[in-house]
Amino acid sequence: MEVVIKNGKHNRASYSIEVEDLQGKTPIDKRCYFLKIPDGKSQRTSYRHTFVRRGLYTLTGYRIATKFPFALFRKSRDVDAPLEVIVYPARVQVPKPPPRSHTRGDAVANRLGRRGEFFGLRENRSGDDRRDIHWKSSARTGRLLVREYEDELARRVVIGVDNALPQDVRDAIADAAITPAQEAQINAVERAISVAASLAATYLEAGWTVELVARDLHVHPATGRMHEAKVARELALLPYVGDDVAFAAMPPRIESVLIQPRGVAAQGRPTAQTVMET
């Protein structure tokens, strides 16, 4: 966390300045100390802070203080300057993507190019080639549909993560009265979310197309670093819900991984080709 302070006075230095970032009225970490700031100059320093869990944090502002000139008492003033910080899920060690399977579509791709054999139609997504639009089907359905090829499916994965928690645990979180057993359930879900984020990043780095599903969440398939950031952001903000909230459908013909929190009972989980308990 970097702090920059500027002395806007002319012909007069500022001495012994302390700055603290605030959450509400509480400083979040150490004070940053500036011994002397010359007139018209800026100085910067930084400190380390570790957020205990993923999510959205709001720094409400900062407190500026000084004991100058005699250090007999400390004068301070709180300044409102809201700043939002999104904390992504922690990265953990996960298996690497499996080698690309030699499907019929791959065999055709060796002869016809990287696109492979025609598989079916899907809705248009940002970045799709307009030459792949199937105009007759689009006109018939009223939706823009594009052709999908088997080699695209051979390097596409759907990652599902279960974000359900029992009602009593969610109530305890809201009341800040969490028991050790409830804390274990929360940690299991958080571990599952970290595994999902790490798997998504690993597959994307290997050039796969990644789709993400959870209860009340569906991130459409895409590739690249921008998509990695989008997936990480969605998982950072993913709320806990009840097991009555449905998952998005996981396509049966595509490589899919469902990540289940160990020891957390929940209903309505979809089936997947691979199931991981964390």
Mean pLDDT of the chain: 84
Same domain, 71 and 178: no
135 lies in some domain: no
95 lies in some domain: no
| Spatial CB neighbours of 4, under 8 Å, sequence gap ≥ 6 | 42, 43, 44
Same domain, 273 and 163: yes
pLDDT of amino acid 152: 54
Peptide bond into 270 cis (omega under 30): no
52 lies in some domain: yes
pLDDT of amino acid 263: 66
Same domain, 155 and 266: yes
**CB of 31 closer than 8 Å to CB of 17:** no
Full domain range(s) for residue 61:
2-87
pLDDT of amino acid 73: 85
Q: What's CA 217's distance to the chain center, in Å? A: 13
Helices (H) and strands (E) in the chain, counts: 6, 14
Q: Is the pLDDT of residue 126 over 70?
A: no
pLDDT of amino acid 108: 38
Residue pLDDT, tens place only, 162-209: 999 999 999 999 998 999 999 999 999 999 999 999 999 999 988 888
176 lies in some domain: yes
Same domain, 155 and 83: no
CA dist 187 to 101, 111, 267, 270, Å?
Answer: 35, 49, 19, 22
3-state per-residue secondary structure call for 239-275: CCECCCCCECCCCCCCEEEEEECCCCCCCCCCCCCEE
Residue pLDDT, tens place only, 208-244: 889 999 999 999 988 888 999 999 999 999 999 998 8
Same domain, 154 and 270: yes
Q: Is the pLDDT of residue 114 over 50?
A: no
pLDDT of amino acid 153: 55
Rounded Cα–Cα distance for residues 37 and 33 (Å): 11
Domain end point (choices 67, 87, 107) = 87
124 lies in some domain: no
214 lies in some domain: yes
Task: Identify the residue with better confidence: 120 or 185.
Answer: 185
Task: Identify the residue with better confidence: 17 or 268.
Answer: 17
Q: Is the pLDDT of residue 86 over 50?
A: yes
159 lies in some domain: yes
Q: Which residue has the tokens 């792949």?
A: 132
**CB of 220 closer than 8 Å to CB of 142:** no
pLDDT of amino acid 121: 77
Domain end point (choices 61, 87, 113) = 87
Number of domains in the chain: 2
Using pLDDT thresholds of 50, 70 and 90, give the confidence band for residue 104. very low
Using pLDDT thresholds of 50, 70 and 90, give the confidence band for residue 102. very low
**CB of 22 closer than 8 Å to CB of 29:** no
Same domain, 195 and 266: yes
- The arithmetic mean of pLDDT across residues 99-124, rounded, is 52
235 lies in some domain: yes
Domain end point (choices 87, 111, 135) = 87
Same domain, 253 and 179: yes
Residue pLDDT, tens place only, 133-148: 888 888 888 888 887 6
